[in-house]
Structure 1
């Protein structure tokens, strides 16, 4: 399911003056003028862009997060917008995936699968650089504005509130891995080994930290709760 602007919890105070209307048409704020081409002017412009840069969520094709990050970083350099697009991130958190055989695999789990976060100063040029990157679907925005007539979806990008940005990246700093398992209450399973081999049942409780689950098996015509190891069962497709 695609996320909307509401899923990212925008701070109204943070974003109320940063609309695409201002950025794409006649920006209310522009870099300092004067001394064009001078080191002093370039330095002032760089400080301005850094100060006004915001985080935006960008929806990408499923499974293409790393590819988009690499492509976009290359485009930023090639198209010379390094002074306005500063970071491209895929927030991830450590996790442990439990395999069917009971072994564990350390993985990095994406906080928001199908999305990358970009810290940038929004204007017409950088909007185009990001939007036209291969496998990018659209910016996450608060509403659609077909009047712009720009690309797929015509979504008006909205910056993330700083409180939400901090919350997202705080999750990436978590040191204790989350245990992930492809099993949940309600799943139908078949027992593969042990005294209940070939019995069928329904999962009622999952304990990832113990690599065990509890299932209801029909024993002598009665549903009986039985604790089983993950590697003792197979989920029915």
Structure 2
């Protein structure tokens, strides 16, 4: 009795799918950017030249360019030539900004996860800052403490200055990834800042802790700075609550 033919081992492959023309144009342009054929600051060829180069119509070119713009890779400006953007961590994080906020709103437990991430991140980055901060960094941090002190009766201003203070510590690390991640994380977190009645009047505690943090950073005392940062964030935890809980 004849046996049925069998599929060779390891031949389980996905079927070939037809790709939209705009997707193919996008892939080609993406490859040119990744390979360095198109560098940050370079002008993207005109729509007509791209149509001729790729043998496609204007709609496919325009859609591909818009996809690149949506990813922050290029900037399309009316009346100006389209250029490749400078690449940075901020561009990458801008792409996940809306999704991150949606995750926080849709799943209350994610706010607690974000608080945990903040503690781990900031306790670590303050150590790096202690080893790298300059006199200018210290001056900036002290100026921000003074600004925040003048904002004790202005809730919005106090919060915004708090973000600036913690971001300035990240800036002192000289690590652009830490800077971008910290700013994004704080922006997401502070959307859930809720001033609680039993915390009223504790602004002075925040200011005092900020001043001590600057003192430790100026002295290069990484251990004390990290310990104080953990205490500082533990104390402020209840101020961030999800309206869905």
Pair in the same fold by TM > 0.5: no
Relative to the length of structure 1, the TM-score reads 0.21
Is the helix fraction higher in 1 or 2? 2
Relative to the length of structure 2, the TM-score reads 0.20
